[in-house]
A = this chain, B = another copy of it.
Amino acid sequence: MNYSIGKFSQMMGVSIYTLRYYEKLGLIVPVRRDNGQRRYSENDVTWLQFIKRLKATGMPIKEIQTYAELRSNGDSTMPQRMEMLVIHRTALKEEIAKLQEHLENLDNKIDYYQCCLKGFSTVEFVERQ
């Protein structure tokens, strides 16, 4: 099975513009074309899902570009790719830890001020709930 850019865009939740932009950057290049029109495969589905994951976890496009280049050079680049992923995982763990800390702090602030609010303007506050 293969998909036109319109179908693929819809399935993946990525705009046609973005797909062509990613192709220009070498992130995702469909292997086939019919009369000049892109044909995306199942393989492209899983690959774009992975790209989206990398993006969602804050990897900059330049780095994804590097990864994609390694990938297109075949299985012999697996070690380097794994190295990149391991490094990225570490960064991600740190980011999560940092966010968790910020969340606690935010919780405390909210608790603190909701106490105060109860003191001097309960009505106002209750109205907004």
Contact = CB atoms under 8 A, between A and B. Distances in A.
A116 to B, nearest CB: 7
Contacts of A125: 78-79, 82
Contacts of A113: 78, 81-82
A46 to B, nearest CB: 11
A124 interface: yes
A16 interface: no
A99 B103 contact: no
Given A110-B82, A125-B79, A128-B79, A57 B117 contact: no
Copy number in the complex reads 2
A98 interface: yes
Interface in A70-129: 75-76, 78-83, 85-86, 88-89, 92-93, 95-96, 98-100, 102-103, 105-107, 109-110, 113-114, 116-117, 120-121, 124-125, 127-128
20 contacts: A56-B102, A57-B102, A57-B106, A76-B121, A78-B117, A78-B125, A79-B117, A79-B121, A79-B128, A80-B128, A82-B113, A82-B117, A82-B125, A85-B106, A85-B109, A85-B110, A89-B110, A95-B99, A96-B96, A96-B103
